[in-house]
Amino acid sequence: MKNTFENNVLTIYPVGNVDTANAEQFGKEVDELRAQYPDGQLVLDMEELKYISSAGLRQILRLKKKEKDLKIINCSSEIYDIFEMTGFAEMMDISKGYRKMSVEGCEVIGEGSNGIVYRLNPDTIIKVYKNNDALEDIKRERELAKTALVLGVNTAIPFDVVKVGDKYGSVFELLSAKSITKLIAAEPENKDKYIRIFADMLKEIHQTEVKEGVLPSAKKAALGWVEWLHDHIPAETYEKLYRLVDEVPEDNHMIHGDYHTNNVHYANNEAILIDMDTLSTGNPIFEFASIFLAYQGYGDLDHGQIEKFLQMDYDTAVYVMNKLVDFYFEGKDEAFKESVMNKAKVVGYARALRRTIKRMPDQKELIEHYRNQLIKYVDQTDTLLF
């Protein structure tokens, strides 16, 4: 039986079966190893364990009585089911192991602040989270995706959690679907057709009402951005900006929060929404602020940032954004549409300024640009409502 002792943790690796024939010997070997390393935590790594019987479970129970902080990790689904059915998973820290996968050579179909989405094969995609300890994020996104699907928004549900190197990933079924970005690139003559599909999906999202408290509030998040900027913008700008955001009523209709053409896929005459970790509720102005940044704002000084993020050139990105606004507000005049996007820039530049100061404090020119743009649009805006 293999073992390691690192960082004051004794890890023991049972192999094969622990059953009636060898359970007592298993317990004896664990005790002997513990006597050699009496300090720190005891961890049983079950990655190579194939089966455990009731005799083996009794040995685990005996260890638990002696080792209050006993931890069991990397259980196969079969071993974890045994622990769960017998109640062991409720009395001690037991976690599943995860299938190991590689994304080497896979096409990147999208990247956000939380993860990178790869296509594994024509039928499946995987979102690899940037945070090494992302299990709670994965669980939350899975629940958000289920919420959207139950409410009628066509979205992909993750069916497996895997390890990719030292990171976690969620695997989704997305049968032969292509992103709207890819479709526009492949069929530029049909780009308006795909942008309309993109706009129709956005309207469907915004028409979806959610019970209060099920999803986080986009307004609350935006107020948090504004409060963070308190010491980074003039006092009069801060006071007016806070008032503008605070005066937007809470709204129980869904918004995606990261809506761009890499996150909408299309197959079999239906659009499919992915990447649900930013799902929230609120006024659409918060959605259009995010859209403005993705298609234009983040590329104000460097158009290449848009190309890198969206995988389309800057001019095409601006066209897509403007056409999306045209289709979404069909029947409204150009002055109205321009007014909506100017309001969106208020929230957008507040978010961009906060993000840049926090993540790229050395980018002085960009920070000053976002600050000046924020001041400009706050000065000329009396309300964020439309």
**Class (C level, CATH) for 178-379:** alpha beta
pTM of the entire predicted model: 0.78
Reported as a single tens digit per residue, the pLDDT across 267-288 is 889 999 998 989 999 999 999 9
Distance CA 281, CA 148 (A): 11
Reported as a single tens digit per residue, the pLDDT across 102-149 is 999 998 887 877 889 899 988 888 999 998 888 888 888 888 989 999
**Class (C level, CATH) for 2-97:** alpha beta
**Class (C level, CATH) for 107-173:** alpha beta
Distance CA 167, CA 130 (A): 7
- Whether the Cβ atoms of residue 124 and residue 165 lie closer than 8 Å to each other: no
What mean pLDDT do residues 325-336 have?
97
pLDDT at 83 over 90: yes
Least confident range of 82-96, 233-247, 329-343, 369-383: 82-96
List beta partners, residue 167. Answer: 164
Q: What pLDDT is stored for residue 112 in this prediction?
A: 76
Distance CA 128, CA 237 (A): 39
- 98: confidence class by pLDDT, cuts 50, 70, 90: confident
Q: What pLDDT is stored for residue 122 in this prediction?
A: 84
Contacts of 82 (CB under 8 A, 6+ apart): 52, 57, 88
Reported as a single tens digit per residue, the pLDDT across 169-218 is 999 887 678 999 999 999 999 999 999 999 999 999 999 999 999 999 99
Q: What is the dihedral of CA 348, 217, 155, 327, to 10 degrees?
A: -50
Reported as a single tens digit per residue, the pLDDT across 184-198 is 999 999 999 999 999
What mean pLDDT do residues 246-260 have?
97
Q: List the chain domain ranges.
A: 2-97, 107-173, 178-379
